Structure 1
Amino acid sequence: MTALANGEPKPFIINQKECKANVIESPFQKPGDTIPKLKNKNLKDTKIELADTIKGLMLDQVVISSKKVEGEIIGIDLKKVPVNSSQDLLRKVPGLFIAQHAGGGKAEQIFLRGFDNDHGTDIAITADRVPVNIVSHAHGQGYSDLHFLIPETVKNIDFGKGSYYADKGDFNTSGYVDFHTYDSVDESMFKIEGGSFNTYRLASIVNIVNDAVKDRHAYLAGEYNYTDGPFDVKQDFKRLNLLGKYNQAIGRFGYISAQASVFNSSWNASGQIPERAVTEGLVSRFGSLDTTEGGNTSRVNILANYNYTPNDNQKLQTSFYYTHNVFNLYSDFTFYLVHPDKMDEINQYDNRDTYGTNNSYSYHFDLGESKLDWVSGIGARFDNIHDLELSYVTARTELNERLAWGSAKEANANAYTSADFSFGKWRLNGGLRADWFYFSYFDKLLPENGNPSYTKARISPKFSAFYNPTDKVSIYVKSGLGFHSNDVRDVVLQHGENILPLSAGTDLGTILKPIKGLIVNPILWYTYLSNEYVWNGDEYGISDVGKTKRIGADLTLRYQPLPYLYLDTEFNWANPRLIGEPKGNNYVELAPTFTSTGGIGIQTTNGFSCNLRYRYMHDRPANQDNSIVAQGYFVNDLVMGYQIKKWSVNMQIQNLFNVKWNEAMFAQTTRLQGEPSAGIEELTFTPGTPMYIKAGITYKI
């Protein structure tokens, strides 16, 4: 069995060009290792194994008692449901919803388990073990922009809901998502796509080295996107991504890998507009009140890994990373409320370097009829923030007023240990995590304040229990403490208070295979936060609403009645409430209450595929007393493809039935020209994309 990027076994892969089978018996061995007993297998055996590999894409092959059955299911989802954008990658996580409201260039707004995570405040996101969340970001705490990922390079997605995982730290409250890109590719690929609103995309993967004998691999990947978008003001959106990876075996037991990526984008945005501006005819639904919104952003990632696997029972992993981020955003949320003569456009600017390391050691103990897997790790991260800026500007060029301007240093050192003990029909997992944080901020507007600094530590215990009465039933309970760090600017303003707000949660769930090809995963869950506050980068202040609680239920269904037919759906209900507030005035603003996603897909043996997808967001409170409601929506997408030999074509239709919907919504006090100086509080929104058609062609070499 080969190993998935998350460490779980998967069916081995056949190299059809050489008719060789690469098999890994132990999940601790590195990809590419060959078991000696396989070398003499004849061609007949190889064909049988190839058929087994194809079956591995069937739900019926998923092992319910697996430690990472969710990862196996999402691996099948990646094969059965096409990914056409970096946004689609996040949508692969069951129960996760996203919204875009800044011209396609800003990170998506993320919803999960009754949390409006903003751009990442309560969800931990990594890519190839490199953290995506940006601490103390100019726009918001935990800001996570995944647009540097090229969809065609993503091999696997690992995810978990709740704060139950010892190797996950900051921002792991509602859950975590880990993306893993391919270490090697067998073929080169070139893709060109074009569609509505003057949209086009070029993508390519070039196989540089694929030496199976020396276990040495390298490839380059690139992507360029452009669109004018459906808005009255052309988005003029441009995005360029480049990725290079190199991997090589070192001696008998070592394996090194290195990768680098560059991402750059720029865009114009139409932003959020109040409903009355449309009803009064001031602008269309796709119009703008401030036509100079937009921005640009860039990211550089450099990563080096070393794996040492001396035997089937031990594995040492170590990695070092560096990222450079620049973020420059122009937005206008209030229009004529603060500056009636010049409008209220703000500029948020962030420039930083981040350095970090992750190290882990795992050991497998075979205790006869029982097994113990022990994993421990240490890590560190340092953010050197050169500029954190918030200013009022006019038309991106004229500086009207600096609200904030400073530099900061933030560090996190962490250590964890966990043990997974399997015996009989039981599996117990216990873990403990320790985190230490350092915050320092220099206010360039008030240099006389000096450079105050604060530290804080957090201990996070975890415990889960699994019971598998049969190979078709798994019952489990998960529990643990988590946290998300506060913005360094608020840490200083509060003189070191509320640095690491605590979260606590519990899951009670089961995974069932009641009939062939059907997997059912119902979950009841509860989450508590000691203080649900979020730094508001738009207004330079904290949104402090106190303690909160959430109870909810998730239901995941996957059904594959026939090899070519795949059905999937998610139902997610949540009841988010403020603790200590009177009933009717205890709603959590913009927290989702019910969402559902799913679809039906067909893949035929002659290369044709078709997927009809849906996503549903229910109405939700936009303010604390629910007097303003963010309206829900139901949107369908259609994705089709056909492959013959080295050629493939694809077409997608987003918003298939051209419904009128709002993608992002906020309760906001705004002022239009001629209105009272106090402004009016009502719903502001960014309209969802109308019917959008895109088609493309791919050639593999």
Structure 2
Amino acid sequence: MLIMRRNLLFFTLLLCFSASVQAQERTAKGRVIDASTQQPIEAANLRFRSSTQQVNTDVHGRFTVKIPAGTDSVYISAIGYTTQAFAVAQLQADFKVALAAVSVQLKEVSVAQAANNPFKPISQMDIKLRAVNNSQEVLRMVPGLFIGQHAGGGKAEQIFLRGFDIDHGTDINITADGMPVNMVSHAHGQGYADLHFLIPELIQQVDFKKGPYYADKGNLNTAGFVDFKTKDVLTNSMVKLEAGAFNTWRGVGMFDLLGEKAKANEQSAFIASEYMYSKGYFDHPQDFNRLNLFGKYHGRISPQTTLTASASTFTSSWDASGQIPDRAVKDGSISWFGAIDPNEGGKTSRTNANVQTVTTLNHDAYLKNQVFYSHYKFTLFSNFTFFLNDEVNGDQIKQHEDRNLFGYNGSYVKNGYWGNKKLSSEVGINVRYDKTNNSELSHTKDRSTLIDPIKLGDINELNLAAYWMESIELSQRFTLSGGLRFDHFEMGYKDKLENNTKSTAGGNTVSPKLNLQYKASEFAYLYLNSGKGFHSNDTRVVVKQDGRQVLPAGYGSDLGTILKPTKNLLINAALWYLWLDQEFVYVGDEGVVEPSGKSRRMGFDVSVRYQPTNWLYLDADANYAHGRAVEEAKGENYLPLSPRFTSTGGITYRSKMGINAFMRYRYMGDRPANEDNSVIAKGYFVADAGVTYSKRKFEIGLNVQNVFDTKWKETQFDTESRLANEVAPVSEIHFTPGTPFFLKASLSYFF
């Protein structure tokens, strides 16, 4: 009997202990939202007193956390919001907390907010502190990314990142609200990414990552990806007017349609518009016009499902002075802002429809579905060689296409625990179909006379993909994440200059990813990323090459860290390596294929953010890249226009009185312009500045581009050309001059 009583007592104590452990390990779930807009806050951080355990909210502001034993308080913070403290007992089922927006304070940023994305804290701070003044500034939000415009303002910018001359998008995956920006098999070049349909004032968030390490990103994701997210809710309606030098005018209107009561019920709708005109600073007027219209609805259509639907249309036209040769400026034939062929220019348009739903499921899971459609038109007239090929009519070319783009993205995401280990899983599928009509390359004169058709045909390209991503917390310090992606391509081309001959090709590729994160302390976070990515080649290339080199692979690795040595200093640094199996793309300017073989790049990135006082913020980015062609002889293996050293930075002042000011610089060092480094593309240093005075109802601003009136070359190419009076061609630097001193004033009214 005594033994039975002892056993009964033992089991009773065991049950009590188990119940106590279960109580201490209680799982809490909740949601963090913006108090003003009622929208979810991504990457909000939950940390417990007397514990190292932390967790971040997902893209829908949701969190699931096991409450550690021995703690009684939880602190919830997010970049640009007040920190709130709660008793652990308040963390009941479906707990919801609303954070109020305040000025960004670097001391509130935790390195834990970098989990799964080391660039997240920096991108969130930058977008809140640095005003985006124009469409060109949009891509400059990515540290280390440089752009250059060389065709009158309306053409997509040339992009540079991690030792790449990406042209207009060959090796960077760009999306806006989940919809692709890059155009595959484009008339002007593979991956052409024109972001001018995006109104800068509507940008809510910029999500970027460098390298090919993310299974949900596919084609063109080798150097990295950039995803822009527009606002779901307007905090207020606004009208903005801008006027600047060179007869530049811009107007923006953003209008809330449903009011504050609707926001409280998680319903929102707004429309926005933008119009811009600039005569430009060139000797021959640009007459650049751009018109944007955008509308969006965001709301809860059931207790479990949120709907986001948007529609937009964009049109633009411009004249361009094009790239000019050094020799023509040196001998006085033309000025620094002159032109050899003033008949360059173009027009483009894009109309989008985008519908997304997010459905919350049981067991901390949700389902995302997205369908999108774009109708896109593009016409460009260029002349890079002047009279090299045609001494009488000149070498002007026309590039044209009319495209329909259809797509679907779907994913299932589940966050939770496997035992006591945090676990996140995602599976998804992507479908994209591009169909272009009359993709054209022609030799023309004065934009109106067709001299010789070079390429003319219809392109269709289908990309089907499936991916899986997994992230598991191995311990409180180690997190392992990875994934696998499968892509299938089917390509077809009907050549209308060859009796409507039809050719097809296709290919498959598998892209594995493996990443490891290590939380060394509350102030140091280390990561090792590795993976395979790819870029597709133009359909007109692969069908002519019998399907060879359809999807050249890229292999990369990053070893990096996020450090916060003091409460007001944040550092992100990484050593990186990237190998490409083939840099092999269709050159739309000439209608030819230019394979440049295997390449290898390596380098380092450093980003520093420092806030010495509540009102002063300093930032700097420095990037170095060493790139070479692998199969060429030493000394002849340089990668033309590959940037070697670049840096950007600035200082931002924000006062409680509503006066905000900034000054920023960007520096690009000299870089090789050809394979043997005998021709150099000269570097530049340019600084911009601005000041605004903001009150509740209005804002006045003054912005200066190129404060020191630097004479600089924005884009440069080593090109062989012949002028009308020359008997032989000359190969040398041809360039587009950068913006001179440019003053712009703005007035905004909020209501």
Q: TM-score w.r.t. structure 1 length?
A: 0.94
Tell me if the contact between 2:118 and 2:572 (Cα under 8 Å) persists in the aligned partners: no
Aligned residue number for residue 110 of structure 2? 63
**Structure 1 counterpart of 2:714, from 643, 663, 666:** 663
Is 1:353 paired with 2:404? yes
Task: Work out whether 1:305 is the aligned partner of 2:356.
Answer: yes
- Change in Cα spacing, 1:48 to 1:628, as seen in structure 2 (3 Å) is closer
Give the letter for the 1:302 counterpart: A
- Deviation string for 1:211-235 (max 9, x for gaps)? 0343221000100011011000100
CA distance in 1, matches of 2:140, 2:470: 31
Deviation of the 1:418 alpha carbon: 0.7
Q: Deviations over 1:480-520 (max 9, x none)?
A: 00000000000111111111011000000111001111011
Shift of 1:312: 6.4
Tell me how far 1:51 sits from its aligned partner: 12
Q: What's the secondary structure of 2:121's corresponding residue?
A: helix
1:28 Cα offset (Å): 5.5
Q: Which moved more, 1:290-299 or 1:60-69?
A: 60-69
- Aligned partners of 2:464, 2:109: CA distance in 1, in Å? 37
Aligned residue type for 1:411? L
Which residue of the partner structure matches residue 273 of structure 1? 324
Structure 1 residue 584: Cα displacement:
1.0
Write the distance in 2 (CA, Å) between the matches of 1:226 and 1:51: 41
Report whether the alignment pairs 1:445 with 2:445. no
Tell me if 1:322 matches 2:408. no
Q: Which amino acid aligns with 2:708?
A: F
Q: How does 1:473-512 map to 2 (within 5 A)?
A: 473-512=524-563
Shift of 1:29: 8.2
Residue number among 203, 211, 217 corresponding to 1:154 in the alignment: 203
Distance 2:236 2:408 in 1: 32
Answer whether contact 1:28 1:315 (CA < 8 A) is retained: no
Deviation at 1:367, TM superposition (A): 3.2
Matched, 1:680 2:730: yes
Post-superposition Cα deviations, 1:245-275, rounded to whole Å, max 9, x if no partner, equal 0122122101111100101000000000110
Give me the whole-angstrom Cα distance separating, in 2, the residues matched to 1:585 and 1:289.
31
Pair 1:15 & 2:36 matched? yes
Bigger CA drift: 628-637 or 576-585? 576-585
Does 2:185 align with 1:136?
A: yes
Whether the 8 Å CA contact 2:158–2:166 is kept in 1: the answer is yes
Q: 1:127 and 2:176 equivalent?
A: yes
- Pair 29,511 (structure 1): closer, same or farther in 2 beyond 3 Å: closer
Q: Secondary structure at the match of 2:461?
A: strand
Structure 2 unmatched runs, 5+: 1-29, 47-55, 64-80, 85-96
Question: d(CA) in 2 for partners of 1:434 and 1:382?
Answer: 16
| Offset at residue 370 of structure 1 (A) | 1.4
2:159 is matched by which residue type in structure 1? I
Say which SS state the counterpart of residue 440 (structure 1) adopts.
strand
Shift of the 21–267 alpha-carbon distance from structure 1 to 2, 3 Å rule, reads: closer
Q: Name the counterpart of 2:687.
A: 636
Tell me the CA shift for residue 15 of structure 1: 2.6
In structure 1, which of residues 244, 247, 258 is the aligned counterpart of residue 298 of structure 2?
A: 247
Secondary structure, aligned partner of 2:405 = strand
Aligned twin of 1:92 = 141
User: Per the alignment, in what secondary structure is the counterpart of residue 296 of structure 1?
Assistant: strand
State how far apart, in whole Å, the 2-side matches of 1:52 and 1:243 are: 28
The answer as to 2:286 corresponding to 1:235 is yes
Checking the alignment, whether the CA contact within 8 Å between 1:205 and 1:220 is kept in structure 2 is yes
CA distance, structure 2, for counterparts of residue 97 and residue 69 of structure 1: 20
Aligned to 2:158: 109
The answer to whether the aligner puts 1:588 opposite 2:639 as a matched pair is yes
Q: Match of 1:542? A: 593
Correspondence 1:202-217 to 2 at 5 A: 202-210=251-259, 211-217=262-268
Q: Does 1:425 align with 2:474?
A: no
Q: Give the match for residue 4 of structure 1.
A: none
Q: Does the 8 Å contact 2:35/2:101 carry over to 1? A: no
Matching residue of 1:695: 745
- Helix, strand or coil: the match of 2:482? strand
Number of aligned residue pairs = 676
The CA deviation at 1:72 is 2.7
**C-alpha distance in 2, partners of 1:118/1:169?**
19
Question: 1:56–1:365: structure 2 CA closer, same or farther, 3 Å change rule?
Answer: farther
Partner residue of 1:434?
486
CA deviation profile, 1:331-384 (whole Å, cap 9, x unmatched): 000001111111111000011100000001001122353111001100100001
Q: Is the 8 A contact 2:31 2:62 kept in 1?
A: no
Deviates more, 1:533-542 or 1:92-101: 533-542
- Secondary structure of the structure 2 residue equivalent to 1:212: helix
2:51 corresponding residue in structure 1: none
Aligned equivalents of 2:313, 2:152: Cα separation in 1: 21
Residues 1:612 and 2:663 aligned together: yes
Alignment-derived partner of residue 76 in structure 1:
125
Q: Which amino acid aligns with 2:749?
A: Y
Out of 601, 624, 634, the position equivalent to 2:675 is 624
2:250 counterpart (175, 179, 201): 201
Structure 1, unaligned runs of 5 or more: 1-8, 34-45
CA shift, 1:686, in A, is 0.2
Q: How does 1:151-190 map to 2 (within 5 A)?
A: 151-190=200-239
How big is the shift at 1:414?
Answer: 0.2
Specify whether residues 204 and 312 from structure 1 end up closer, same or farther in structure 2 by C-alpha distance, changes over 3 A only.
farther
CA offsets per residue over residues 276-332 of structure 1, 9 Å max, x none?
011111110100111110000000110011110134611100000000110000000
Query: In structure 1, the residue corresponding to 2:690 is in which secondary structure?
Result: strand
**Counterpart for residue 599 of structure 1:** 650
Checking the alignment, whether the CA contact within 8 Å between 1:504 and 1:528 is kept in structure 2 is: yes
* Higher deviation after alignment, 310-319 or 519-528: 310-319
- Largest Rg, 1 or 2: 2
Contact 1:32-1:212 at 8 Å conserved across structures: no
Tell me the amino acid that sits aligned with residue 217 of structure 1. S
Corresponding residue for residue 443 of structure 2: 392
Preserved CA contact (<8 Å) 2:33 2:61: no
SS in 1 for 2:119: helix
Amino acid in structure 1 at the alignment position of 2:109: V
Find the counterpart in structure 2 of residue 6 from structure 1: none
How far the C-alpha of 1:62 sits from its partner, in A, is 1.8
Is 2:599 aligned against 1:552? no
What's 2:16 paired with? none
- Any conservation in 2 of the 1:352–1:387 contact (CA below 8 Å)? no
Query: For 1:377, which of 423, 428, 436 is the aligned residue?
Result: 428
SS of 2:711's equivalent in the other structure is: coil
Q: What's the secondary structure of 1:288's corresponding residue? A: coil
Contact kept, 8 Å, 1:62 with 1:69, in 2: the verdict is no
In the alignment, is the contact (CA less than 8 A) between 2:35 and 2:98 conserved in 1? no
Contact preservation (8 Å) 1:516, 1:561: no
* Equivalent position amino acid for 1:433 in 2: R
1:224–1:32 Cα change, 3 Å: farther
> CA separation in 2, counterparts of 1:618 and 1:163?
26
How far apart are residue 138 of structure 1 and its match? Answer: 0.2
After superposition, the C-alpha distances for 1:111-135 in whole angstroms (9 at most, x for unaligned) are 0000000000000000000000000
* Amino acid in structure 2 at the alignment position of 1:562: T
Alignment match, 1:465: 516
Change (3 A) 1:408 1:54: closer
Q: Tell me which amino acid in the other structure corresponds to 2:641.
A: L
The root-mean-square deviation of aligned C-alpha atoms, in Å, is 2.0
Find the aligned partners of 2:158 and 2:472 in 1 and give their Cα distance: 38
In the alignment, structure 1 residue 412 sits paired with structure 2 residue 459: no
Counterpart CA distance in 2 for 1:116 and 1:48 is 42
**Distance in 2 between the 1:540 and 1:683 partners?**
22
Equivalent residue number for residue 337 of structure 1: 388
Tell me how far apart the structure 1 counterparts of residues 432 and 744 of structure 2 sit (CA, whole Å): 40
Q: Distance in 1 between matches of 2:649 and 2:58?
A: 34
